[in-house]
Amino acid sequence: MLRYLNQCSRGRGAWLLLAFTAFALEMVALWFQHVMMLKPCVMCIYERCALFGIMGAGIVGAIAPKTPLRYVGIALWIYSAGKGLQLAWEHTMLQLHPSPFVTCDFAARFPSWLPLDKWLPSVFVATGDCSVRQWEFLTLDMVQWLVGIFAIFLLIAVLVLIAQPFKPKRRDLFGR
């Protein structure tokens, strides 16, 4: 399996699949916001940023998958998936154990050199409350689904990183 993951990490297809999967999840988030009229909270916006990081990792890895640049993609992938998992877990705890003393911010705080909420307010401006559960599917809230999604992204990223020293088997006509 590790040889297979190494082989996949050296091709553009797997990296583009990673980027497309994160893009599809972003489109679902925008569907929830603009079509279903659900209000994203600050934690939701930060979780979106983590998904954009995973999408960026897929793009970086797809640029030159056979070069050491893929290690930059893997590092960005692990960081974004780990941060997304941490944010989704904290958000889940806010929803499962609401408290008037532990709340999320009123507005997302982006660095002054990257004011995403000013550049793209329809995507990065928070209007909801972190403790409100707005959507549920198969008894799990949206944020609980994100915990699972980010955990899967992180697990696969770590496995791909572990697989890097395992060179793919060379196959020739005589199977040597």
State the catalytic residues.
41, 44, 48, 104, 130
136 phi and psi, to 5 degrees? -145, 140
3-state helix, strand, coil in the chain (%, to 5): 65, 0, 35
Two structure tokens written together for 9: 């990490």
| Of 57, 48, 133, 116, nearest in space to 84 by CA | 48
Q: Which residues contact 137 (CB under 8 A, 6 or more apart)?
A: 145
Two structure tokens written together for 166: 């395992």
DSSP 43-97: HHHHHHHHHHHHHHHHHHHHHSTTSTHHHHHHHHHHHHHHHHHHHHHHHHHHHHS
